[in-house]
Structure 1
Amino acid sequence: MIKVANKKVIYRLSFRSFKANRIRNIVAILAIILTTLLFTSLFTVAVSMNYSIQQQYMRMAGGSAHGSFKYLNKEQADRLKADPLIKEYGMSLMLSMPEEAPFNKHHTEIRYSDKNEAKLYFSYPTTGKMPEDKMELATDTAVLDLLGIPHKIGEKVNLTFPVGERTVTDTFTLCGFWQTDEASLASQIWLSESYVEGQLKDYKPRASGYESIGTWNLDVMFANSRNIEANLRKITEENGYNFVDQSASNYLATGVNWAYTSTHLNKEDTIMMVAAITAVILLIIFTGYLIIYNIFQISVSGDIRFYGLLKTIGTTPKQIKRLVRNQAFFLSCFGIPVGLLTGFIIGNKLTPVIMNIMTNKRSFTAYNPWIFIGAALFSVITVGISCNKPGILASRVSPIEAVRYTERANGKKQYKNSRNGGKVYNMALANLALSRKKTVLVIISLSLSVILLNCTYTFTKGFDMDKFLDKFVITDFIVGHSDYFQCRFGSEDQKVTDSMINAINAQTGITESGRVYGSTFISNTSLEENDFKQFFGWYPKEAMESSLKDKDENGKISTDVDLYGLEDLPMKQLTLLKGKLDREKMKSGHYLALVVFPDDYGKPNLQDAIYDVGEKVKIHYCTDYKYSEDGKLTEYNGWDEEYEVIAVVMMPHNMSLRAYGDVPFITSAKTFIKDTGTENTMIYMYNVDKEHTKQMENFIKDYTDKQEPDMNYESKASYVNQFSTFRNMFLLVGSILSFIVGIVGILNFINAVLTSIMTRRREFAMLQSIGMTGKQLKKMLLFEGLFYSIVSILVSLVISVLIGYIALKPIENIMWFFTFRLNIMPIVILLPVFLVIGIIIPLLSYRMTNRKSIVERLREAE
């Protein structure tokens, strides 16, 4: 075969064929725009949400570094920072953590920091600079407000803070400041290196001194956020230090920044996340494929005579396939850029809404080039797959077949004797049967959006408010110190004040109330090795081995205890698992109930039940203690109390310290106060009658905002709102996706009906020439449209029910607050919509394509 340089000719033919199919082009470009929009908005939302959540967590964690080495001396810090695994680092030297007013309610750290460290801490001056001269200071606006200092460079700042056993008061010059980040849990005051080192020369730690004062922090960044802990371990061990054994003399403390998403994902989570993303991408590809393939399939069918004529003049199958691909390329050049831009805008508008629903206060736009590269690539793949088979059809047809081609199913001609064969509705069904593949694709395309919407609706309706509230809400209101709700209860300063409890009790509508007293002292017990392994089974292997080495003279291992004292109302919230919870007996002497906590599905974690009913437990209390010079705790004035375990109970998480790790016990409030010598209310719980619930909500909010701002509360109403917004997030995202898929389906329907009418104009003219009226023709088209609509709804109903029982019902075993309830309300609502579409689109299409006379239409194929 002689090779002819005809690529330009094929390109020119492609372009002219492209221009000749205006209606096809409009629908195809819209389909490509929507497909690209889906990919771009999905990737934008996913990337921006991940980035926003990480940024929020970083601000809560206090920095953006991948990891850190803590409590170093200068020599260690200089040695570690030279490791080749470290791509970037920052260093800081701790001087003080003031506790007296005005810092008693605001955690503040005083340090020297280099510029990199300040940036990693999100604490770099946006106005002014970092301290350079000895008596310069930089801090955030919250600290300036606490000290009553105007936000102005050059202001004098009087600062009093402890340095070990000394109290230092100095005056500094404000050289820089930045706006306080609401998400941050601590403020930083930066001082110059020369000043900090000068103050630490004579540093003598207090008896209970901080091990961090006078030590360096080295915060590091690696090439990426994968394997942070492994990298920290490698650096530690290669430099001759111990990564695991805290009792070792060469142990180095390290920290992994939990803000990075990669640190939360285990192998199973990663597989599930990849599977979910893959499923969504395949869904979008399939959605785009349905319409783009159908457009090209119908377009090729309509232009089949044109391709046949090209073959008669020597065009090869390969050239015809290239001609179809070129047209797809032209369409992509128009559709993909518009889809990328529109999808990015929609994605960034949608992200703040989702983030707000998720109660994250801030969202960040992620300008990641991979969003556009990925979306464009998947769109091109979708278009390529979609036009491949129509191109093969066009390339294989012979010139003679092309001239005779009509839309029909493959196979032999079938003859049928029927008295009703001339009925209009039978003709409509016969017409749809001529091209079964096209009919099936249009039905699938229309059904997909309905199935997706119905499944989304069923999923969100399955979020069971009662299950959710049963887990989180034990009484109408719980009040406590704000630190308690951040899992930081542990000192007398964090107790619920009597003034607050009296103010609450003065309100009307309270039906019952009670206190939970919590540990603000050191207490511990000793466990047998087997019991220790059972309770702390989640320990890493190295940590477990290290703990088992520290046995006392009796071969037991000491561990801390969490003790709770309960009044009657909180005692009623316990679930008895074993024994008898005799409240009067518990009040009369040394009796305890061992606590186990529920898992996500409300089932007790029975592996924590290391004591049985009737066993004795000795608890050692210590409220007065000191630290040795090497930082180890030395107890004084301690005493022992022995108790009998009379029950094993399950305790709601919201009544506890909200943190796990120590062995938990409960006793009566009376026994707690008597045995511990403390009377610190951890939380105060109470119920209110319905008539006064709203009034109480307003009171407690106003009280914690204005009267005692260190206090906080949780209410049933707050959890109801939290649950509703969480559910609405899924409904919003699913509805938007369903809406876009629905538009794709309707476009496919319009394209199928319109193109079918255009390619059958000669057929319609022949029917009219032998006596079929325009009214009958329109009725036939109406039956075709209604068939698409009704069958699509029926298919949606059947598949939605199957998906419900096969895919959604098992979610009950995965999400503890989910209860499967089959719901077909969206299908019922969409039924009249589909019927209207099935009527209007065929009529409009007929009117647009039936403007020529019968004779003119009969002559079109000649």
Structure 2
Amino acid sequence: MRKVRNKKVIDKISYKSFRANRTRNVIAIIAIALTAMLFTTLFTVGIGTAENFQRQTMRQAGGDSHGVFKNITEEQYEKLSRHPLVKESADNRLVANTVENPEFLKRHMEIWYYPKNFYGHHFIEIIDGKAPEKAEEVLVDETSLKLLGMKAKAGQQITLLLKIREGQEPVERTFRISGVIRSDPALDVGFTVVSKAYLAEHQEELQYTYDQDTSPVGAIRMEIVFQNSQGIQEKLDKVARESGYSTKEGEKNYIASNANWAYISESTSGDPMTVAAIAGVGFLIVLTGYLIIYNIFQISVMKDIRFYGLLKTIGTTGKQIKKIIRRQALLLSAIGIPCGLFVGFFVGKAIVPMLLSHTIAGNSDSAVSMNPWIFVGATVFALVTVFISAGKPAKLAAKVSPVEAVRYTEGKRQAKKQKKTTDGGKISRMALSNLGRNKGKTVIVIVSLSLAIVLLNSIFTFTNAFDMDKYLANFVSSDFVIANAKYFNSEYSARKEDLQESNLTESFIEACEEQEGFEKGGRIYAATDQVGVKISDYKIPKNMPVNENGELCWMWNGEKIPVTKLNEENYQTMYYGVDDFLFEKMEVYEGEKDLDVIKEKLATGNYLIYAVSTDDNGMVRKEDMVHHAGDKVTLSFPNGEEREVEILSVIKENYYGLSTRYSVIFPYYTTAEVFRKDLSEDYLMSYSFDVRDDREEAIQQFVKNYSEKTEPTMNYESKLKWSNEFESLKGMFTIIGCFLTFVVAVIGILNFINAILTSIVTRLRELAMLESIGMTKKQIIKMLTLEGIYYAGFTMISSVLIGMLMSVTILRVLTSQIWFMKYQFVIWPMLVTFPFLLVLGWLVPKAAYHFQGKKSMIEQLKNED
């Protein structure tokens, strides 16, 4: 077969045809831009969130180095740093166990030595001054200076109370601030950085003693950077072994190491719910984009089918016609996709902080880089969607024969058997018949409109399932909790030696009880180093793990960790004493449930309540239960007394309301009176209380001011705080969901407008014929508006059916998997949209005919295809 060089001709026909379809082009470009925008937004949010989470994880891990060798000597550091796999390393050191300044109680400070060349790896940004060089020079973060009442300026003097090692008296040292570093808003920790000269001047107090007392002060924390982040732990082990050290714990030359959490998280599989959510959004975008773009090209092809038929009569092949349509799709994409990429990136950039505001990265300065994969991924997905959408219409144009094309009428089928009827000429029936002329187009328009309505209803069903009572029950059991600031910073110690620094003051309690609106409250006492469970009398349950020595253990990261012992004969317990008010907040899982009976029996000192841990849904972790109701254990007290007690009830753990906020194996509860008799009233941990609803905000303002000005070592939490967080979380999902619904709705409306507009354009001659046989313009407009209303009616029916089915299946299952949600059937959002849908169905056909049907009947009839 002779090959004809007709590429330029095909290109020219494609371009001319493209210019002739201006209305189609505008709608298609908008549709492609919206689809590209959605893809870009999805990629921006996904990649931006991942970047921020990784950056935040690095900050929490202490830096972006790949791994660390912990608590090593200078000699070990020198050997390890010479290994060829090590690209960069730093000999970081903690130079004091704690900084004891009272201003740092609610936001504690750490004091470290970091090599200057490693500042960047620790995200140290000097905003004023320079790095320290002399022994008396330091870097201090700006927030810590603010807490001390100082300005964020270099050159000032600062006095710090340093407790070098645990058990030692604090040492007062004065430094000169050589530079101020930017505070990390995500970390509630301050930092002071000393110079190399400081290590030399205080080398005696910074001697390595980790092998004697496990003190990290003076020991080197060796940060390592490799060539890449692949196989970090394997590289760390290889460096250790080839430097002459062991990686097996317990051996004499063992060195502990671990890979940076941020890089570990990259290699782990994503959360199934997150993956499913992203996949669902991606599918929704592809579907909505496909619906409109496919419909645009299908309608365009049907409109120009005679044109393609004429091309075939002069020898154009089906392959060349496909090429013409694909080239037009490419031209439309070249205009629409860049617009979508531009808008989508900035939309995604605005959404990322909203998403992160309720995560571990919520307090950090979120930033989204212009990662090229955002634009590459969005472009590829948008192009694929466009070419899939244009594929079927292109095949239709390529397969039609010249004769069929010239005689083609939308919806024309083989002749059917005639049916006699007396209402066939009714306008309403004619309008309904017109929808059935091209059932595929009608279905696509209805589906695209229904999709937006179903999505809107789903968003409101999802957010309506947010149950504040379930959410608050996980965090609060009363209106207010007051305690020492260390309690809320997870630094609370229930040990006798730390009572003065960690406990709540009676003066704070009295101040709260004097407030108007105070109703009732109760104290919680806690001690962790006073009461033990006698090991010899305790029978380990079958569900609890034991090690090779038969010792009771608990599981951590797949490893068996022996339970902490008070001494050789006793397991350590957390012994609580609570006032009557707190018994009302307990949820009994097993055993005695009558509160009066519980309080009466506990008062004898021969009974205890045991708390078992629960999951996010409040379900008891049976594998963690060390007691059942009726079990008997022997308690050992500081005065040498041993007392056999019975587990009266098992309650569900109330982590935020009734505990020290760290988990233990043996948490026991008795009455406050019994506790004080067994130990003393010095172990006062916290005080919970309720207030009148109308005084809640006023009392919150009072405790805020009191804890900031009168007793700054005290702090509080309130139900209002968690309520505000809940509303913010709910609002975030609502805003993002409504934005997505809005875009899908715009696509659906564009699809509807395009379908109506092109339907009228392709039928102008037909409408003129109807007018020539006596049909008035008013009747034609009525027929067209009825078509639009039928579209709206079928959309409402399909929306209700699909929406209800989706609600009782997918959404019911989804909300049941989230602990603070309670499914409720919702249909009102769909009902609200229906009047607007009817108005749209009436208005669009009327407006379209007004603009397209301006020519007279004679002029329309004279038009030749």
TM over 0.5: yes
Look up the match of 1:814. 817
Q: In the alignment, is the contact (CA less than 8 A) between 1:90 and 1:220 conserved in 2?
A: yes
The one-letter code of the counterpart of 1:516 is I
Question: Alignment partner of 2:133: what SS?
Answer: coil
Q: In the alignment, is the contact (CA less than 8 A) between 1:89 and 1:116 conserved in 2?
A: no
- Specify whether residues 242 and 308 from structure 1 end up closer, same or farther in structure 2 by C-alpha distance, changes over 3 A only: same
Q: Is residue 511 from structure 1 mapped to residue 519 from structure 2 by the alignment?
A: yes
Q: Is residue 762 from structure 1 mapped to residue 762 from structure 2 by the alignment?
A: no
- Specify whether residues 182 and 705 from structure 1 end up closer, same or farther in structure 2 by C-alpha distance, changes over 3 A only: farther
Q: Is residue 372 from structure 1 mapped to residue 371 from structure 2 by the alignment?
A: no
In structure 2, distance between residues paired with 1:671 and 1:260: 50
Q: What are the residue-to-residue correspondences of 1:689-768 with 2, within 5 Å?
A: 689-768=692-771
- Specify whether residues 225 and 685 from structure 1 end up closer, same or farther in structure 2 by C-alpha distance, changes over 3 A only: farther
In structure 2, distance between residues paired with 1:832 and 1:732: 23
- Specify whether residues 786 and 741 from structure 1 end up closer, same or farther in structure 2 by C-alpha distance, changes over 3 A only: same
Question: Alignment partner of 1:779: what SS?
Answer: helix
Q: What are the residue-to-residue correspondences of 1:447-596 with 2, within 5 Å?
A: 447-490=450-493, 491-492=498-499, 493-519=501-527, 521=529, 524-525=532-533, 526=535, 532-533=544-545, 536=553, 538-541=555-558, 543-544=559-560, 547=562, 559-580=571-592, 582-596=598-612
Q: What's the CA shift for 1:236?
A: 5.3
Look up the match of 2:648. 646
In structure 1, distance between residues paired with 2:608 and 2:565: 27
Q: What's the CA shift for 1:551?
A: 14
The one-letter code of the counterpart of 1:437 is G
The one-letter code of the counterpart of 2:777 is G
- Specify whether residues 791 and 817 from structure 1 end up closer, same or farther in structure 2 by C-alpha distance, changes over 3 A only: same
Between the two proteins, the alignment pairs up a number of residues equal to: 840
Q: What's the CA shift for 1:501?
A: 0.6
Residue range with higher mean Cα deviation, 605-614 or 354-363: 354-363
Question: Alignment partner of 1:96: what SS?
Answer: coil
Residue range with higher mean Cα deviation, 824-833 or 131-140: 131-140
Look up the match of 1:111. 112
- Specify whether residues 146 and 363 from structure 1 end up closer, same or farther in structure 2 by C-alpha distance, changes over 3 A only: closer
Question: Alignment partner of 1:405: what SS?
Answer: coil
For residues 774-831 of structure 1, give each alpha carbon's deviation from its aligned partner in whole angstroms, at most 9, with x where no partner exists.
1111111011100111111110010000011111112353122222211111111111
Look up the match of 2:620. 604
- Specify whether residues 540 and 51 from structure 1 end up closer, same or farther in structure 2 by C-alpha distance, changes over 3 A only: closer
Q: Is residue 303 from structure 1 mapped to residue 304 from structure 2 by the alignment?
A: yes
- Specify whether residues 203 and 848 from structure 1 end up closer, same or farther in structure 2 by C-alpha distance, changes over 3 A only: closer
Residue range with higher mean Cα deviation, 510-519 or 54-63: 54-63
Look up the match of 2:330. 329
Q: Is residue 68 from structure 1 mapped to residue 68 from structure 2 by the alignment?
A: yes
- Specify whether residues 155 and 489 from structure 1 end up closer, same or farther in structure 2 by C-alpha distance, changes over 3 A only: closer
Residue range with higher mean Cα deviation, 706-715 or 11-20: 706-715
Question: Alignment partner of 1:582: what SS?
Answer: helix
- Specify whether residues 96 and 788 from structure 1 end up closer, same or farther in structure 2 by C-alpha distance, changes over 3 A only: same
Look up the match of 1:628. none
Q: What's the CA shift for 1:255?
A: 4.9
Residue range with higher mean Cα deviation, 92-101 or 764-773: 92-101
In structure 2, distance between residues paired with 1:450 and 1:357: 28
Q: What's the CA shift for 1:340?
A: 0.4
Q: In the alignment, is the contact (CA less than 8 A) between 2:528 and 2:573 conserved in 1?
A: no
Residue range with higher mean Cα deviation, 753-762 or 468-477: 468-477
Question: Alignment partner of 2:202: what SS?
Answer: helix
Q: In the alignment, is the contact (CA less than 8 A) between 2:565 and 2:572 conserved in 1?
A: no
Structure 2 unmatched runs, 5+ = 547-551
Question: Alignment partner of 1:452: what SS?
Answer: helix
Q: What's the CA shift for 1:767?
A: 1.1
Q: What's the CA shift for 1:223?
A: 6.7
Q: In the alignment, is the contact (CA less than 8 A) between 1:111 and 1:196 conserved in 2?
A: no
Question: Alignment partner of 2:430: what SS?
Answer: helix
Q: In the alignment, is the contact (CA less than 8 A) between 2:35 and 2:285 conserved in 1?
A: yes
- Specify whether residues 203 and 599 from structure 1 end up closer, same or farther in structure 2 by C-alpha distance, changes over 3 A only: closer
In structure 2, distance between residues paired with 1:530 and 1:82: 50
For residues 699-722 of structure 1, give each alpha carbon's deviation from its aligned partner in whole angstroms, at most 9, with x where no partner exists.
222222332333322222222222
For residues 278-306 of structure 1, give each alpha carbon's deviation from its aligned partner in whole angstroms, at most 9, with x where no partner exists.
22112101100100110010001111111
Q: Is residue 201 from structure 1 mapped to residue 201 from structure 2 by the alignment?
A: no
Q: Is residue 211 from structure 1 mapped to residue 219 from structure 2 by the alignment?
A: no
Q: Is residue 15 from structure 1 mapped to residue 10 from structure 2 by the alignment?
A: no
The one-letter code of the counterpart of 1:108 is M
Structure 1 unmatched runs, 5+ = 623-636
In structure 1, distance between residues paired with 2:687 and 2:171: 39
- Specify whether residues 41 and 819 from structure 1 end up closer, same or farther in structure 2 by C-alpha distance, changes over 3 A only: same
Look up the match of 2:47. 47
Q: In the alignment, is the contact (CA less than 8 A) between 2:143 and 2:183 conserved in 1?
A: yes
Question: Alignment partner of 1:679: what SS?
Answer: helix
Question: Alignment partner of 2:545: what SS?
Answer: helix
Q: What's the CA shift for 1:101?
A: 2.8
In structure 2, distance between residues paired with 1:573 and 1:548: 28
Instruction: Please give the TM-score of this superposition, normalised by the length of structure 1.
Output: 0.90
The one-letter code of the counterpart of 1:419 is T
In structure 2, distance between residues paired with 1:687 and 1:549: 36
- Specify whether residues 102 and 48 from structure 1 end up closer, same or farther in structure 2 by C-alpha distance, changes over 3 A only: same
The one-letter code of the counterpart of 2:425 is G
The one-letter code of the counterpart of 2:545 is K
Q: In the alignment, is the contact (CA less than 8 A) between 2:209 and 2:219 conserved in 1?
A: no
In structure 2, distance between residues paired with 1:69 and 1:370: 34
Q: What are the residue-to-residue correspondences of 1:265-414 with 2, within 5 Å?
A: 267=269, 269-356=270-357, 360-361=362-363, 362-408=365-411, 410-414=413-417
For residues 220-250 of structure 1, give each alpha carbon's deviation from its aligned partner in whole angstroms, at most 9, with x where no partner exists.
45677787666656655676656564x5444
Q: In the alignment, is the contact (CA less than 8 A) between 1:50 and 1:261 conserved in 2?
A: no
Question: Alignment partner of 2:775: what SS?
Answer: coil
Instruction: Please give the TM-score of this superposition, normalised by the length of structure 2.
Output: 0.90
Q: What's the CA shift for 1:312?
A: 1.4
Q: What's the CA shift for 1:404?
A: 0.2
Q: Is residue 680 from structure 1 mapped to residue 680 from structure 2 by the alignment?
A: no
- Specify whether residues 801 and 261 from structure 1 end up closer, same or farther in structure 2 by C-alpha distance, changes over 3 A only: farther
In structure 2, distance between residues paired with 1:82 and 1:511: 67
Q: Is residue 796 from structure 1 mapped to residue 808 from structure 2 by the alignment?
A: no
- Specify whether residues 172 and 396 from structure 1 end up closer, same or farther in structure 2 by C-alpha distance, changes over 3 A only: same
Question: Alignment partner of 1:341: what SS?
Answer: helix
In structure 1, distance between residues paired with 2:271 and 2:86: 26
Q: What's the CA shift for 1:836?
A: 0.8
The one-letter code of the counterpart of 2:384 is I
Give the root-mean-square deviation of aligned CA atoms. 3.1
Q: In the alignment, is the contact (CA less than 8 A) between 1:91 and 1:117 conserved in 2?
A: no
Residue range with higher mean Cα deviation, 24-33 or 64-73: 64-73
The one-letter code of the counterpart of 1:29 is I
For residues 377-406 of structure 1, give each alpha carbon's deviation from its aligned partner in whole angstroms, at most 9, with x where no partner exists.
110011010111111111111111111011
